[in-house]
């Protein structure tokens, strides 16, 4: 799965499995760092076949671990500038990711804050709330999509849960890139 210039990384899945992925980028956010990782998965192909496809997602440092002996110095790193305003001061915008129907698993949607998942269309606050109220819809826990909406707008089971960002976090984010 190695691609020129894209180093491997250990990705920790939600069920605690560890798989080898690739680290495409890292970006500093208000509370620390996020890492764009890609893992190879199967997707429905033509004529009912299964084809490999890389799925990319932004994860917290709790879900990515560097591999011994691998250099991460050439990974694109996006830092907050001194003039960047905190996310709460910018008007938020959202995008939807459509997760396709698979045998035994109905399709669903995942709400993201703009920048977490590529999309051609942004949603207003009203559209984001309406999308979250649909069946099989959830907010991304990596990009604070749920936290960017007011508690009155969210149903109780859609509240955002905090995730620790200790394992790969910079102690002084303005100094050196994260230790990958």
pLDDT digits (tens, 9 = 90+) for 147-159: 777 555 454 433 3
32 near 165, Cβ under 8 Å?
yes
Query: pLDDT > 70: what percent of the chain?
Result: 73
Q: What is the pLDDT of residues 84-121, one digit of tens each?
A: 645 444 556 888 888 887 787 788 888 888 878 777 67
Residue 32 predicted with pLDDT over 90: no
DSSP SS3 for 38? strand
33-69 pLDDT, tens digit per residue, is 899 999 999 988 878 889 898 999 999 889 999 999 9
Question: Using CA atoms, how far apart are residues 112 and 118, in angstroms rounded to an integer?
Answer: 9
For the chain, give every domain's residue range: 8-78, 87-158
């Amino acid at each position: 799965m190695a691609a020129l210039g894209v180093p491997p990384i250990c990705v920790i899945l939600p069920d605690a499995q560890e798989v080898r992925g690739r680290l495409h980028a890292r970006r500093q956010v208000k509370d620390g760092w996020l890492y764009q990782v890609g893992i190879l998965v199967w997707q429905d192909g033509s004529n009912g076949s299964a084809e490999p496809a890389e799925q990319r997602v932004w994860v917290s440092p709790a879900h990515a671990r560097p591999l011994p002996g691998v250099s991460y110095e050439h990974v694109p790193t996006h830092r907050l500038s001194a003039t960047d305003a905190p996310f709460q001061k910018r008007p938020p915008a959202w995008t939807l990711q459509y997760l396709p129907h698979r045998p035994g698993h109905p399709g669903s949607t995942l709400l993201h804050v703009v920048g977490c998942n590529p999309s051609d269309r942004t949603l207003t606050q009203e559209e984001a709330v309406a999308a979250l109220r649909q069946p099989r819809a959830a907010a991304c826990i990596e990009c604070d999509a749920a936290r960017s909406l007011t508690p009155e707008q969210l149903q109780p089971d859609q509240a955002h849960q905090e995730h620790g960002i200790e394992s790969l976090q910079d102690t002084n984010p303005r100094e050196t890139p994260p230790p990958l």
